[in-house]
Amino acid sequence: MNRIGIYFAFWEKEWEADYCRYIEKAKQLGFDVLELAAGCLPDMSSAQREKIADRARDAGIDLTYCIGLPPRYDLASEDAAVRKSGIHYVGQLLSCIKQMGGDTLGGILYSCWPGGTVTYDYKMKARERSLDSLRELSRMAEEYDINYCLEIVNRYEQYLLNTAKEGVDFARELGSPKIKLLLDSFHMNIEEDSFHEAIETAGELLGHFHIGECNRKVPGRGHMDWDEIVRGLKDINYQGRIVMEPFVRPGGQVGKDIKIYRDQSGNASDMRMDSMAEEALKFIREKLK
């Protein structure tokens, strides 16, 4: 059965946190995976990164990493200096993840987040610039043996890759065994005609999978068709990790960036938040049986 995880920011209002604490929490709640914000890694000392990696290994928790690149590192920018900075920065992330024994970096790793409003012509030119940037980064991913998972997101957050089909075409142009796709049920619900069809389109290129409800709550607290989603994953024999990425608490940088403008937790205590995560884990494991 797939290893199931959760993104630490379900509980947090800032992108930086005591990751060791959340490793222990993930273990106590029965998760197999904890996803971290990759952007924090370069600011840590080598010893701090090793401590987190050691704690995860001791707990039997896989660590995965995710980021939406800031505009100053836009890999599809018209400005060559910005693209160069982005390549250097992502190279740092890959190096940090390699040091920590990780094998997966996912997110908006082909342009920036948020992506702004552009014309179709601009998009197509940006696509070529992004491909050029990723040709260099894919070689680094191969060298470090890290899956570089391009997150397919909705048009309101990024303009470049909005559907599984766009992602597959993009990845195939790069032709690297380490370039994969990250599909996310929240974004799929907005952009795809069919969950099953999108998952089937991704096929063997699906390297990571995010789950959450249409309202960004934990699985089971919305109207997402989980039976169709799970059927799609089973039909392509997806063996990879599945990570919950719910956001329900307003406030802080996380609430601002994700646009959580109301408390969707029901003013839940940390204990109740733990219970919601635990219930969602049980819900999705039952679906996967």
Percentage of residues in the chain with pLDDT exceeding 70? 100
- Decide: 26 and 9 in contact? Cβ < 8 Å: no
Q: Indicate if the alpha-carbon torsion angle 275, 276, 279, 281 is positive or negative.
A: negative
Which residues have a catalytic role annotated? 151, 245
Residues 4-288, CATH architecture: Alpha-Beta Barrel (3.20)
Task: Using a cut of 0.85, tell me whether the model's pTM lies above it.
Answer: yes
Averaged pLDDT, 116-145:
98
CA-nearest of 99, 32, 100 to 242 is: 32
pLDDT digits (tens, 9 = 90+) for 195-232: 999 999 999 999 999 999 999 999 999 999 999 999 99
pLDDT of residue 1: 86
